[in-house]
Structure 1
Amino acid sequence: MEKDLASSGDATYGVWSEQNAAATQAGAYRWIALFIVWAAFLLSYVDRVAWSTVAAPVGASLGLSVAMLGAFVTAFYSGYVIANVIGGILTDLLGGRAMMTLALLPLGVFTFYFGDTRSLTMGIVIQLAMGFAAGADYSAGMKIIPAWFVRDRGRAMGIYTTATSLAVVLANAIVPSFSAQHGWSNAFRMLGGITVAWGIVSLLFLKNRPTQDQPPARNSATEMLGLLRNRNLIVLAIAGCGGLWATVGFGAWGNALMTRQYGISPVVAGSIVASFGIGAVIAKPVLGWISDLPGVSRKLISILCLLAFTITLLIFGACSTTAQFYLIAPVLGAFSYGYLPVLMAQISDASGKRLAGAAAGWTNAIWQMGSVVSPLAVGHVYGGTHSFMLALLTLAIGPVIGMAAMFFVSKHISRE
């Protein structure tokens, strides 16, 4: 009897030891998983904003009018919107690793060939293809992160979204200077090659979930359609659309507006927008971490951040000197991206882990509608008025709408 009990105890201890070892291994690996999806998001975003850093000088050489400088950005986000809906559903079906790889490899190839652009039509077609290829990387990341992070999901989202703002820093710090020395075509070829390489890294080293977790049940069409009727997701989609109207619009036009309006060189304008990105890099993980704290309202943080975003846009619009732009840019960057991890955490909370990919895909598709329209809208406003302030006022409309939408989000979204 005692022998049986001892054997039973040994077996129990063995199972416990295996589970504990698996949990420890998962705890260590989750940071590797976060780094892989973060770096993928970083490269994807560098690829999409690289054009904005050289739009003014290169656009002139391609014969593009001022109003059409944002056409390539709009083309990218048009493909991106479509791919987010499809990619979100496929991410839940195929897994985050497969979709991350399927996003990065073709994105790298198309980015490489964008360097051969010689006309407006050719550039629009390639940027459309780039956006369509990149559309699944966001959903893949939003699927991977909730699988590995639970209580500290807001912090993980904050770290994940630093990729977009750091991409702004890197693109503005590297692409204009590299283009001046080696040509803008070679800059895009370099970016394309690096993106393909990271797609291979994702395929080889990314894991969908901890080994001790059971594979999720297959999502039904009814459940996915139910996401479209989720009031919290609908309102969060509208809020994000308003926010990204201004975030992407500024990213697309910030450099060109300062260059055209005040004669600031592309390299100096790039360094100003790089400082804008630094503010965002700092703000995102901080706000994500704060949103994880017990009793803290993610809804309230989102509202306050969008309000501050609106105000700092107007202050930036009143600036006219390089010193003023350098002073305000980091603050603007903090608020122009700071709301994103908090909104993303709320979307994950509202949908649950099993439907995280599909929910991220369709809400981000709505978010990116602002990204599609904003660059062209700002281009037409500035092209018709040549008013720096009116261009910034056009951008400020977005976060005002986003802030109003947030008041309709439930106060009691459960945190899985």
Structure 2
Amino acid sequence: MSDYAASLSVEGRSRRRWVVLLLCWASLTMTSVDRSTWGPASLQAGAALGVSLAGLGAFATAYYVGYVLSNVGGGLLGDRIGSRVVLSGSLFTAGGFMVAFGSVSSAGAGIAVQALIGLCAGADFAAGVKLIASWFGERERGLAMGVFTMASSLGTMIANAVVPRLIQAYDWRSSYHLFGVVSMGLALLCLALLRDRRELSVRLPPLRGLVRDRDLMLLGLAGFGGLWGTYGFVTWSNTLMVRGHGIDPVAAGTVVVVFAAAGAVGKPVIGLATDLAGRGRKWPAVAVLVAFAGCLLVFGGMESESAFLAMAAVAGLGAYLYSPLLVAMVPGLSGTALAGSAAGAMNALAQLGSVTVPVVVGAIYQVTGSFSAAFATLAAGPLVGAVVLSFVREAGTAGRPSPQGVGA
């Protein structure tokens, strides 16, 4: 190949990777919107379906049970048949079940459909990590994963900004119908425009090493603690502010929007900062988790709308800034060839925090009636996560050399 042709190939690949990142981000944003819709819709949906306050957590838990299962399966499948098909199919089917949930008439059917939404939606995370890991080198992954994981924050923002207003204008079902249709349309666009890096396709190494990898396991447990706090807040904060302190539902939604907006802005910033510093991502993530635990304790002691708004942005930074750092560490531990499987397994373990926290916090609030007790329960997660993360041996350190092909 001539130097000119080679330069054109590199330039085309450089442009293509930003298209890949944009579509992965958009897909994860929509599944995050779908996931976050239950928080602001839960009181009205629960009343329509005859569900008690404590029972509302069962819907979120059903979603996350399906989500955890599809993270593992989606990661394995993406490494073998290609992440483009897995990501597009995940988003399309999740959108279809969102539309179905907007038409359910009983609590049992609603819980079952929520589990199906999660079962379809979870595969896009691992598929997106694999695509980004294959198109971006190690020195750029902090920024790339920061942009990619902005999606979870933006999903929370969009749901909490739009859903309360849709409920006021129409009803809770309209939000599920709208977001479901948008998800299905975006899935078709992803199928048309995404591309796997075929030149990086190699014979996959055995998965036994991932299963036995101490550091990947600890990384997943650290994520468990972080997501316990993050999605416990996202799932319950609206209801707890409305029921515990009489905050207007739209105002409570605005608090969560500010909370998520801070995370959305901060994720690419901390990713780029760690890329430029080149000193690793573990200890910045530990510091963020400790700060998040403190913020949740402070938030639980507040009572007024103005106080909640003032604290929301600080708490949002803690709730989201650890995630791009943890995700960017995954390909360094597993190697690019198994990045999808490793990301799916790590996120599945981490998402168990999302599975358990809605029911636990709901039960504690039901028994105690205490706003502060509920938030102290949330704060325990990131604190434990910080302790666990401190024992991870980051790739490239003396205790953990980088795997073959990590910088691909």
Residue pair 1:115, 1:185 contacting (<8 A) in 2 also? yes
Say if 2:124 is the partner of 1:137.
yes
The answer for the alignment partner of 2:335 in structure 1 is 352
User: What one-letter code is carried by the residue in structure 2 that aligns with 1:363?
Assistant: M
Deviations 1:264-295 (A, max 9, x none): 12111101100001110111111111121244
Calculate the TM-score normalised by the size of structure 2: 0.95
Residue pair 1:93, 1:218 contacting (<8 A) in 2 also? no
Say if 2:207 is the partner of 1:219.
no
User: What one-letter code is carried by the residue in structure 2 that aligns with 1:168?
Assistant: T
Q: Give the distance between the partners of 2:108 and 2:97, measured in 1 at CA.
A: 15
User: What one-letter code is carried by the residue in structure 2 that aligns with 1:55?
Assistant: S
The answer for the alignment partner of 1:3 in structure 2 is none
Q: Give the distance between the partners of 1:298 and 1:105, measured in 2 at CA.
A: 34
Structure 2 residue matching 1:354: 3-state secondary structure: helix
Correspondence for 1:39 among 26, 34, 38: 26
> How far does residue 30 in structure 1 lie from its aligned partner after superposition?
1.1
Correspondence for 2:4 among 3, 17, 28: 17
The answer for the alignment partner of 1:306 in structure 2 is 289
Correspondence for 1:108 among 79, 83, 95: 95
Structure 2 residue matching 1:67: 3-state secondary structure: coil
> How far does residue 349 in structure 1 lie from its aligned partner after superposition?
1.0
Say if 2:63 is the partner of 1:76.
yes
Q: Give the distance between the partners of 2:196 and 2:172, measured in 1 at CA.
A: 37
**Structure 1 segment 262-301 matched on structure 2, within 5 A:** 262-301=245-284
User: What one-letter code is carried by the residue in structure 1 that aligns with 2:355?
Assistant: V
> How far does residue 58 in structure 1 lie from its aligned partner after superposition?
2.7
> How far does residue 63 in structure 1 lie from its aligned partner after superposition?
1.8
Residue pair 1:290, 1:296 contacting (<8 A) in 2 also? no
Residue pair 1:283, 1:335 contacting (<8 A) in 2 also? no
User: What one-letter code is carried by the residue in structure 2 that aligns with 1:146?
Assistant: A
> How far does residue 190 in structure 1 lie from its aligned partner after superposition?
0.8
Correspondence for 1:208 among 181, 196, 220: 196
> How far does residue 206 in structure 1 lie from its aligned partner after superposition?
0.4
> How far does residue 49 in structure 1 lie from its aligned partner after superposition?
0.9
Mean Cα deviation higher: 37-46 or 282-291: 282-291
User: What one-letter code is carried by the residue in structure 1 that aligns with 2:38?
Assistant: W
Q: Give the distance between the partners of 2:186 and 2:52, measured in 1 at CA.
A: 35
Structure 2 residue matching 1:410: 3-state secondary structure: coil
User: What one-letter code is carried by the residue in structure 1 that aligns with 2:2?
Assistant: V
Q: Give the distance between the partners of 1:92 and 1:342, measured in 2 at CA.
A: 22
> How far does residue 31 in structure 1 lie from its aligned partner after superposition?
1.0
**Structure 1 segment 222-261 matched on structure 2, within 5 A:** 223-261=206-244
The answer for the alignment partner of 2:152 in structure 1 is 164
The answer for the alignment partner of 1:11 in structure 2 is none
Q: How many residues align?
A: 398
Q: Give the distance between the partners of 2:225 and 2:262, measured in 1 at CA.
A: 20
Q: Give the distance between the partners of 2:76 and 2:278, measured in 1 at CA.
A: 33
Q: Give the distance between the partners of 1:200 and 1:359, measured in 2 at CA.
A: 26
Structure 2 residue matching 1:253: 3-state secondary structure: helix
Q: Give the distance between the partners of 1:295 and 1:50, measured in 2 at CA.
A: 37
User: What one-letter code is carried by the residue in structure 2 that aligns with 1:285?
Assistant: P
> How far does residue 308 in structure 1 lie from its aligned partner after superposition?
0.4
Q: Give the distance between the partners of 1:147 and 1:354, measured in 2 at CA.
A: 8
Deviations 1:162-186 (A, max 9, x none): 1110111111001110122122112
Q: Give the distance between the partners of 2:45 and 2:95, measured in 1 at CA.
A: 21
Deviations 1:63-100 (A, max 9, x none): 21111111111000000111111111001001110101
The answer for the alignment partner of 1:181 in structure 2 is 169
**Structure 1 segment 364-379 matched on structure 2, within 5 A:** 364-379=347-362
> How far does residue 351 in structure 1 lie from its aligned partner after superposition?
0.7
Q: Give the distance between the partners of 2:274 and 2:121, measured in 1 at CA.
A: 28
> How far does residue 57 in structure 1 lie from its aligned partner after superposition?
2.9
Residue pair 1:275, 1:330 contacting (<8 A) in 2 also? yes
Correspondence for 2:323 among 340, 352, 368: 340
Residue pair 2:134, 2:200 contacting (<8 A) in 1 also? no
User: What one-letter code is carried by the residue in structure 1 that aligns with 2:19?
Assistant: I
Structure 2 residue matching 1:66: 3-state secondary structure: coil
Correspondence for 1:94 among 81, 85, 102: 81
User: What one-letter code is carried by the residue in structure 1 that aligns with 2:172?
Assistant: W
Structure 2 gap segments, 5+ residues each: none
Deviations 1:341-384 (A, max 9, x none): 00001112111111000001111110111110000000000011
Structure 1 gap segments, 5+ residues each: 1-13
Runs of 4+ in 1 over 4 A off after TM superposition: none
Residue pair 1:105, 1:196 contacting (<8 A) in 2 also? yes
User: What one-letter code is carried by the residue in structure 1 that aligns with 2:73?
Assistant: I
> How far does residue 60 in structure 1 lie from its aligned partner after superposition?
2.2
Q: Give the distance between the partners of 2:72 and 2:17, measured in 1 at CA.
A: 26
User: What one-letter code is carried by the residue in structure 1 that aligns with 2:379?
Assistant: A
> How far does residue 62 in structure 1 lie from its aligned partner after superposition?
2.1
Calculate the TM-score normalised by the size of structure 1: 0.94
Q: Give the distance between the partners of 2:72 and 2:191, measured in 1 at CA.
A: 22
Structure 1 residue matching 2:196: 3-state secondary structure: coil
Say if 2:142 is the partner of 1:154.
yes
User: What one-letter code is carried by the residue in structure 1 that aligns with 2:147?
Assistant: I
Residue pair 2:44, 2:172 contacting (<8 A) in 1 also? no
Q: Give the distance between the partners of 1:56 and 1:396, measured in 2 at CA.
A: 24
Structure 2 residue matching 1:70: 3-state secondary structure: helix
Q: Give the distance between the partners of 1:116 and 1:294, measured in 2 at CA.
A: 50
User: What one-letter code is carried by the residue in structure 1 that aligns with 2:101?
Assistant: F
Mean Cα deviation higher: 341-350 or 288-297: 288-297
Q: Which has the larger radius of gyration?
A: 1
Correspondence for 1:85 among 61, 72, 75: 72
The answer for the alignment partner of 1:4 in structure 2 is none
Q: Give the distance between the partners of 2:70 and 2:164, measured in 1 at CA.
A: 29
Say if 2:384 is the partner of 1:401.
yes
The answer for the alignment partner of 2:372 in structure 1 is 389
Residues 173/400 of structure 1: CA separation in 2 closer, same or farther (3 Å cut): same
